[in-house]
Chains A and B, each alone.
Chain A
Amino acid sequence: MNRIEETFRRLQTERKAAFMPYLVAGDPDLDTTRRLIVEMEKNGADLIELGIPFSDPMADGPTNQLAAMRALKNGATLAKTLEMLSALRQETQIPIMLMGYYNPFYHYGLEKFCLDAAAAGADGLIIPDLQPDAAGEIRDFADASGLATVFLIAPTSTDERLKLVGRESRGFVYAVSLTGVTGARSALPGELTAFIERARKLISLPIAVGFGIGTPEMAQAVGKIADGVIVGSAIVKIIQHSVEAGNDPVIQVGEMVAKMAAAVKRR
C-alpha cells in the first residue's frame, strides 16, 4: 500500500496526475508481459494495472475479452502470473495493482491468495465484480497482507455508495467514467466532469478514472480533473495488432505509453 500512497503523494505535490496503463497478464505470454511492464515504466507509467485473465469477463468489452482469451489459450494462470511478478520485482518497484474477477481469487483461496500476491510484490487489488458490501471475506486477508483494496464507483452510484466506496477503499478509488463496459471510445462522456466533482465532495482518497479513454487528448483532459488516468483497451489493442502481425509488441506499446503519459502530465 505504501508504494501506491507514495506515488500519489509525490504526484500531488508536483500537481500532476498519475498515469496507469492496463495490460492482461499472459497476453500474449508472461515473458512479454514482464518486458511490457518494464517498458511501460521506462516510458512514464506511474502505476501498473495488471489484468488477471478470466473466462467470463462480464465488465469487459471485446478488446479486453480477446486479450484474456489469448492469455488463457497460451496457458496463463494466476499462480504463474504471481511467479512472473516475483521475478519482475528484481527489475522494478513500480506499484502494481492486480485487476481480476473474483472467482479465480476465490478458487485460489482468499487467504493464500493475499499472502502469495503480497509476497510476489503486488500492491493492491481491483475486483470489478466485488463491491465493498460483499467484500468482508477478502478484506481482512488483504489488510493483513498489506494489499490495498481499491473499489469502483460509477456514474450511476448514489451519494451513499460513493461515501461507502470512499470509506472502504485503500490507496485510491477507481472511477468508471461511463455507464458501460471497458473499451476505447472516441469521446469522453459529457457528464464526466460533474460526476468526478460530485465524487470529490464525498471521497477524500485520490480518484483515478478509467474505461473508454482512447487517445492522448482524452487522457490529457481526464488528467485535468482526476488524480489518475487509467488506459486499458487502447493499449491492449496495440498488443492485439502486434500479435496478429506476428510482431513483438514491446516497442509500440512503449511509444503509446510515452504519448499517453506525456499528455497526462501536461495537465
Chain B
Amino acid sequence: MNVTDRLPDASGFYGIYGGRYIPEVLVPAVEELEKAFRQIMADESFRAELASLLKNYVGRPNPVTFASRLTKYCGGAKIYLKREDLNHTGSHKINNTLGQLLLAKRMGKTRIIAETGAGMHGVATATAAALLELPCIVYMGAVDVARQKANVFRMHLMGAEVRPVESGSRTLKDAMNEAIRDWCTNVTDTFYCIGSVAGPHPYPEMVRTFQAIIGREAKAQMMELAGKLPAAVFACVGGGSNAMGMFYEFIPEKSVELVGVEAAGFGIETGKHAASLGHGSVGILHGSKSYVLMDNDGQITEAHSISAGLDYPGVGPEHSYLKDCQRATYANITDTEAVDAYHKLSELEGIIPALESSHAVAHVMKVAKNYPKDAALLICLSGRGDKDAEQVEDWVKNNR
C-alpha cells in the first residue's frame, strides 16, 4: 500500500476500511453532506470565516511547549507538547464543531444533534451552537450523565438540551446509536455533528480535515522551536480525532514515526480495555468498517477505560488503515499508568493533562529513553485535565 495516495477513495474507503454502512433513509443526507462539504472547502469565504473564529474565538494558534523537566525526568529525547488544552472549551474538540456547525448553517439545517461520552464533544458542540444560534440536542449515556455532572451543567448553561440514553450499556456507543436514530427520524432539517473521525463517509474525512490544523501548526512550530521535524509524534486514540488531526500533516514525512496510544484500562489481559486497534477485530460499527471490540458472536462489547473520552469500542477507519499498512503503530497504556502521568506532568510542568492525553504522556515517559538525546518527541496534549480532578482523586483513594 502506498500511504501517499489520496484517501479516502471516491466511495469513502481507506483500503478496506470506512465506507457507508447506514440505513437507506440516511443515504441521501450523507450524499448531500459530502457535496456541501466539498463546496465549502473550496469556498474562500468559508475558510476565512472558520480561520477567523479559530483565531479570535478559540485562541489559535496554541503553542508548542518544550517540557524541559519532563525531558530531564525521562532521561531521553526532548519532549514537546502541542497545547490543544489551551483552546477555548479546553480541548481539540472545538476545532471540529465550529467547522461542522458553520457548514450546517450554510446547508440551511436548523437543528443540531451530537453524541458525547465524557461530555467534551458535547460541550464543544453546545459552544459552537450557542455562538452560531442553532438549537442543540446532545445524546449522552445515562451512566456518563451521572459521572460527568459538570459537563452536563456546562451544556445546559449554553442552552443545549442533554438527553440521557437508557438503552444498551448506557454509554458513548449507545449515545451514538440514539443520535443516529434521531437523525433517521429528523433527517431533513437536522445536522448530526459527529465528534470523532468515525461514522459513515464523509465524516472521517471531514473531521480529519477540521482537526488537521493541529499537525499543520505543530509542524511549523517544531521547525521554529527545535529546528527540525520530530522523530516521533504521539497522540491518544479513542475514536482517534486528535490523533488523526496531529498525524495527517506528518503522514508524507517518512522520517516521522506516528504512534497512537489506546487505553488498556484494567490491563489488556483482563479483557477490560478499549484497545480496538491492538486487540479488536475487523467489523462494522456506526456506519463504517474498522477495528471493533466484539465477542465471538459479533456483538459489540463494552470498552473499559478510566478516561471516558477513550471509552469507545470502535476507532476511526483511517487509523485501521494506517495500522495495517504500518505507517502508524498503536501502543496502549493502563489506567494506573495514565493516572501516574496525570500526576507527573502536573508536578513537573504545571500542566494538568486530560486523562485522555495522559495516556500519550505515559507512553512517552516509557519510551523517551529509547531515542537519542537530541531527538524531538511531540505529544498532542489534546485537552486539559481539570475536568478529571475529582475522578482522579477518587481513583487514588480507592487504588493506593
**A176 and B25 contact, CB distance less than 8 A:** yes
**A133 and B20 contact, CB distance less than 8 A:** yes
**B22 and A104 contact, CB distance less than 8 A:** no
**Would you give the 0/1 interface string for B20-50, flagging 1 where the beta carbon is closer than 8 Å to chain A?**
1111111111000000000000000000000
**A128 and B283 contact, CB distance less than 8 A:** no
Q: Per a CB cutoff under 8 Å, which of B181, B187, B188, B285 touches A61?
A: B181
Q: Per a CB cutoff under 8 Å, which of B28, B284, B294, B299 touches A102?
A: B284
- Give the distance in Å from the alpha carbon of A179 to the alpha carbon of B182 in the complex: 10
Q: A156-B25, A179-B184 are in contact. Are A106 and B283 (CB under 8 A)?
A: yes
Residues 55-113 of A at the B interface (beta carbon under 8 Å): 55-62, 65, 69, 72, 77-79, 101-108
Q: Is A155 an interface residue (CB 8 A)?
A: yes
**B28 and A157 contact, CB distance less than 8 A:** yes
**A156 and B21 contact, CB distance less than 8 A:** no
Q: A59-B184, A179-B188 are in contact. Are A154 and B25 (CB under 8 A)?
A: yes
Residues of B within 8 A of A180 (CB): 25, 181, 184-185
**A58 and B300 contact, CB distance less than 8 A:** no
Q: How big is the B interface, by class? A: 35 or more
Residues of A within 8 A of B29 (CB): 156
Residues of B within 8 A of A157 (CB): 24-25, 27-28
Q: A56-B177, A133-B20, A165-B24 are in contact. Are A106 and B284 (CB under 8 A)?
A: yes
Residues 280-336 of B at the A interface (beta carbon under 8 Å): 281-287, 292, 294, 296-301
Residues of B within 8 A of A181 (CB): 181, 184-185
**B285 and A131 contact, CB distance less than 8 A:** no
Q: Is B11 an interface residue (CB 8 A)?
A: yes
- Pick from B19, B24, B168, B294 the residue with the most CB of A within 10 Å: B24
Residues of A within 8 A of B188 (CB): 156, 179
Which residues in B have some Cβ–Cβ distance to A below 8 Å?
Answer: 11, 19-29, 167-168, 173-174, 177, 180-181, 184-188, 281-287, 292, 294, 296-301
Jot down 14 A-B pairs with beta carbons below 8 A, ordered by A.
A55-B299, A58-B286, A78-B297, A103-B300, A104-B298, A133-B20, A156-B24, A156-B27, A156-B28, A157-B27, A176-B23, A179-B186, A179-B187, A180-B181
